[in-house]
Amino acid sequence: MRKKIFLLAGGPGSDGRKTAAQLKTALHESGSTSPSVAYIGTASGDDRSFMKWFERPLKAAGASEVRMVPLAGRKADRAAAGEILKNADVIFISGGEVEDGMNGLDAAMRGLLKKLLEEGKLFIGLSAGSIMMCRAWPHWDDEDHHPEDAELFDCLGFTSEIFDTHAEDEGWPELKKAVTLEPEGFTGYGIPGGEMAVIDENGILVPNKNLVRVENRNGLPVIMSGTPENSCS
């Protein structure tokens, strides 16, 4: 019953028209001609001005409405959040800070999102929202990101891969670290700015030559381009 999962990179300077086309493709998979969208903004503390920035392209791509899922701050309402999520055709997880985004989702909410995924709800992520749907992400106790201090924390686990977004100019440092914290042979993927990764209905990563592949080889991150034809979750 699962639908495809769409992981958009977005990013500074990304082509707005390309992102709009990607959103239109993703929304079409909902099966509704004018789908309603539940917006999860925990990665930005449910910043409503930030939500407005995403609302315009979503509506331009065909969404009938975009409703904030109130999970952060003084307006947090878990009961209302649950109803909005259950009644929406699409769940959109927005950008911001990955760790803040995950901290805003308690165990019950994470369980509900996984249940909705398995029941066939369509999920779209952008930037941090895409990363939040992967297996894990690195945390540092210090602001200087010393390599020896990093450890992984769990994300939503909708796919067993780890993804990063629009970090090509920095050389994918967080993705590299995440991959080296996994077992030998583990593979993570970078989605460059303006690109999109798709996880199919069976949880398999659709091959995409525009993705950056990072493998753990003897504890070191090795960067390659594209995805192998037998890439799977």
Q: How many residues does the chain have?
A: 233
**Is the model's pTM score more than 0.85?**
yes
pLDDT score recorded for residue 13: 65
Residue 233 scores a pLDDT above 60? no
Residues 139-198 have pLDDT tens digits of: 988 666 565 678 999 999 999 999 999 999 999 999 999 999 999 999 999 999 999 999
Domains of the chain: 5-225 (3.40.50.880)
| Both tokens assigned to 214 | 């990072």
pLDDT score recorded for residue 7: 98
Residue 228 scores a pLDDT above 80? no
- Kindly calculate the radius of gyration of the chain based on its CA atoms and give it in whole angstroms: 17
Contacts within 8 Å (CB) and 24+ apart, 66-70: 66/36, 66/37, 66/39, 66/92, 67/36, 67/37, 67/38, 67/39, 68/39, 68/41, 69/38, 69/39, 69/40, 69/41, 70/46
Report the percent of the chain where pLDDT is more than 70: 93
- Per the listing, tokens 């209302």 go with 80
pLDDT score recorded for residue 84: 98
Average pLDDT over residues 59-80: 95
